[in-house]
Amino acid sequence: MRLHVADHPLITHKLTVLRDQRTSSPVFRQLTEELVTLLAYEATRNVRVAPIEIQTPVTTTTGVRIDEPRPLVVPILRAGLGMLEGMVKLIPTAEVGFLGMVRDHETLEPSTYAERLPDDLSDRQCFVLDPMLATGGSLGAAIEFLFQRGAQDVTAICILGAPEGVAAIEKQVDGRDVTLVLGALDERLNEKGYIVPGLGDAGDRLYGTV
Ligand code: PRP
Ligand code: URA
Distance 185 CA to ligand 2 centre (A): 13
pLDDT category at 208 given cuts 50, 70, 90 is confident
pLDDT exceeds 80 at position 210: no
Mutation pick for ligand 1 pocket among 74, 106, 130 (CB with most ligand atoms within 8 Å): 130
Cβ atoms of 158 and 195 within 8 Å: the answer is no
Mean pLDDT of 67-71: 93
- The bound ligand whose nearest atom lies closest to the alpha carbon of 199 is 2
Give me the pLDDT at residue 175, please. 87
Ligand 2 atom nearest the C-alpha of 203 is 3
Mean pLDDT of 132-150: 96
Q: How far is Cα 73 from Cα 141, in angstroms, rounded to an integer? A: 16
Mean pLDDT of 185-200: 97
Q: pLDDT per residue over 4-24, tens digit each?
A: 999 999 999 999 999 999 999
Higher-confidence residue: 209 or 140? 140
Q: How far is Cα 6 from Cα 31, in angstroms, rounded to an integer? A: 15
Distance 195 CA to ligand 2 centre (A): 6
- The CB-based long-range contact list for 63-72 (8 Å cut-off, 24+ gap) reads 66/91, 66/93, 66/94, 69/123, 69/124, 70/94, 70/95, 70/124, 71/44, 71/47, 71/95, 71/124, 71/125, 71/126, 71/127, 72/96, 72/97, 72/117, 72/118, 72/121, 72/124, 72/125, 72/126, 72/127
Give me the pLDDT at residue 6, please. 98
Q: How far is Cα 206 from Cα 109, in angstroms, rounded to an integer? A: 22
pLDDT exceeds 80 at position 76: yes
**Which of these, 83, 98, 99, 91, lies nearest to 47 by C-alpha position?**
91
Ligand 1 atom nearest the C-alpha of 102 is 16
pLDDT category at 209 given cuts 50, 70, 90 is confident
What are the residue boundaries of the structural domains of the chain, listed by start? 2-207
Cβ atoms of 41 and 91 within 8 Å: the answer is no
What is the CATH code of the structural domain delimited by 2-207? 3.40.50.2020
Residues in contact with ligand 2 (CB, 6 Å cut-off): 79, 132, 134, 193-195, 198, 201-203
Q: Which residue's CA is minimally distant from atom 5 of ligand 2?
A: 194
Q: pLDDT per residue over 145-179, tens digit each?
A: 999 999 999 999 999 999 999 999 999 998 899 99
Q: What sign results for the dihedral spanned by CA atoms 99, 175, 65, 44?
A: positive
Average pLDDT, the chain: 96
Mean pLDDT of 198-202: 97
